Structure 1
């Protein structure tokens, strides 16, 4: 049977190993969280880009945009033909100009006819991006439950700006805000109402817009 002193040494060594292992596990969780955050951010940016493209080119009022770009195309082609004629010192007959513009119009009509199919294809990509983005964010929440959330509760009250500075910009403000909003929604964190701006900010603000309010957004732990 070991002596008391030996038992204390063994317990201390065991506790030390547990602390080291716990710290390594905590660090690993943050590394995984950073990876998923970057993946989510890229998926989100791609999703927003495709949504903007759909709104511009395939919305109900997009026909005017198509006609405008077709008109621009006519002007560009005419300018190129005039430039070529001047450089090569040749004169193209009128029928060649007309034939080229007719061909350009035919291509435009076919593209316009295929607009519906192209819009459906783009919508399928948007749906896939939304699913990927949602899955990535859910994985972030799972990782944050054992890393970010406990640290925020331990250091609360803390502002979004302080949290962003603590991580030295390795996480986007939007990502941190959306993650912490999960804790706010469950009542575990309180986003103080000392500043009116903090109440009206939507969760999906871009980083440059959110940066103006981050220091005013203070989180208090309710546990």
Structure 2
């Protein structure tokens, strides 16, 4: 408990006053920060792509396509009515029918390419996921000479204290993800806490993770 109380004295400026043995050590922290930002952007992009996949190509995607086609009919009809009033013109019925037939044909063509669109989107998701994992692996290598070393030196320490120690320059979810790898490797363990941190989803957003950060305690096993 005394070790935990000792880490409470850490504040946000500590990271800026850290003593680096060499310029290489400082460079490692800078590289880790850059990779973390890249990983975070890749993570957000992957989330957006998966949401798009669920929306357009999920279990009920066919109904969604029909719904949007119905919406397009309504929008076109409203635009035509508005133009007719503004320009004081009246289109013959066959032109209205022809326009809606063209809309329907376009919809049928797009629907026939649905599987192709789905494969293209899945390819983008796979590439984004691969990029995210590669960046995470690079972060893990850099963390072994920076983040992990600091955590082991100051353990036991909470996730919130680590977050403050690094001047809030890293996302909580990023720190949690990296430290989970060290836990999985058997070099860190979770201390007594109110929250079962080992079963928390690693993809928790920062806003959700803030609720648990002070209760997630890391203890060194080396």
TM range (shorter): 0.7 to 0.9
Q: CA deviation at 1:21?
A: 7.1
1:195 aligns with 2:208: no
1:27 paired residue number: 26
- How far, CA to CA, are the matches of 1:219 and 1:100 in structure 2? 65
Select between 21-30 and 71-80 the one with higher mean Cα deviation. 21-30
Q: TM-score, normalised by structure 1?
A: 0.87
Q: What are the superposed Cα offsets for residues 61-102 of structure 1, whole Å, 9 maximum, x if unpaired?
A: 210110111111111111111111111111122111111111
Verify the 8 A CA contact 1:189 1:220 in the aligned structure 2: yes
Verify the 8 A CA contact 1:159 1:217 in the aligned structure 2: yes
1:58 aligns with 2:57: yes
Alignment gaps of 5+ in structure 1: 1-19
Greater CA radius of gyration, 1 or 2? 1
1:15 paired residue number: none
Q: CA deviation at 1:219?
A: 0.9
1:137 aligns with 2:136: yes
1:178 paired residue number: 177
1 or 2 for the larger relative contact order (CA 8 Å, sep ≥6)? 2
Select between 145-154 and 58-67 the one with higher mean Cα deviation. 58-67
Q: Secondary structure of the residue that 1:190 maps to in structure 2? A: strand
Cα RMSD after superposing both structures: 1.4
- How far, CA to CA, are the matches of 1:197 and 1:188 in structure 2? 18
Q: CA deviation at 1:55?
A: 1.2
Q: CA deviation at 1:118?
A: 0.8
Q: What are the superposed Cα offsets for residues 26-46 of structure 1, whole Å, 9 maximum, x if unpaired?
A: 211000001111111111111
- The alignment covers a number of residue pairs equal to 204
Q: CA deviation at 1:218?
A: 1.1
Q: TM-score, normalised by structure 2?
A: 0.88
Q: Secondary structure of the residue that 2:219 maps to in structure 1? A: strand
Mapping 1:102-117, distance limit 5 Å:
102-117=101-116
Verify the 8 A CA contact 1:40 1:137 in the aligned structure 2: yes
Larger proportion of helix: 1
Alignment gaps of 5+ in structure 2: 1-18
